[in-house]
A and B are shown apart, each in its own frame.
Chain A
């Protein structure tokens, strides 16, 4: 069965320090992977996506993620956190086949940034 696991429900970092949000997936198909950010009471904004091209994907706002097939991981990183990065982050996977919706959401990781 396909699944997505976000290993940390809450991550807290200081402003200016690196950010690491972890995501692992399980699938027998070739996945496409996404990271979305959600600010309070807002919709989802796409940060970046992997669709079988380059394994290191650069997104908006300085975020990037690396697809590692051997580790079935797609961790999100940023070299230096900013206060505006505080939000909820969702790792999302889609697989060919399965339901029409196809998207499988992780439970989310809340990122807090301390001044």
Chain B
């Protein structure tokens, strides 16, 4: 099946700094990628939909100025957590849509903000 990678897999940063997470589709082109957030022992929460060449669509309650998404190419979407705070610590997972109803998920990025 299609492979999606994320980098880094784990990052620790100081409060107030910005962190960039990359999501790549390795063997296919993805016009649409998704970013999810998963709190401990909870399900995935869709944060935003990233469309190549256009602005991301954010879900209700997600601050677009806080979580910057860029989808500059058909194989790469980035999520930047700006001015990170401890409450931003979470597991962030991206996915890429191959067909109209199937998504392939990346391995996730564990963000810890001190």
In the complex, chain B residues whose CB is within 8 Å of the CB of A90: 43-44
In the complex, chain B residues whose CB is within 8 Å of the CB of A46: 1, 104
In the complex, per-residue mask of A19-56: 1 if CB is within 8 Å of any chain B CB, else 0: 00000000000001010100001111110010100000
B105 touches A43 (CB 8 A): yes
Picked from B1, B49, B104, the residue with its CB within 8 Å of the CB of A101 is B49
Closest to A93 in B: B101
B93 touches A43 (CB 8 A): yes
B108 touches A43 (CB 8 A): yes
B91 touches A49 (CB 8 A): no
Closest to A106 in B: B43
Docked complex Cα distance between A32 and B108 (Å): 24
Q: A90-B43, A100-B49 are in contact. Are A42 and B103 (CB under 8 A)?
A: no
Q: B interface vs A, CB < 8 Å?
A: 1, 6, 32, 34, 41-44, 46, 49, 57, 59, 91, 93, 95, 100-108, 110
**What are the 7 tightest A-B residue pairs by CB atom distance, in nearest-first order?**
A43-B107, A44-B105, A100-B49, A105-B43, A43-B108, A32-B101, A101-B46
Task: Show 14 residue pairs from A and B whose CB-CB distance is below 8 angstroms, ordered by the A residue.
Answer: A36-B105, A41-B91, A41-B110, A43-B6, A43-B107, A44-B105, A49-B102, A90-B43, A90-B44, A94-B101, A99-B46, A99-B59, A100-B57, A108-B43
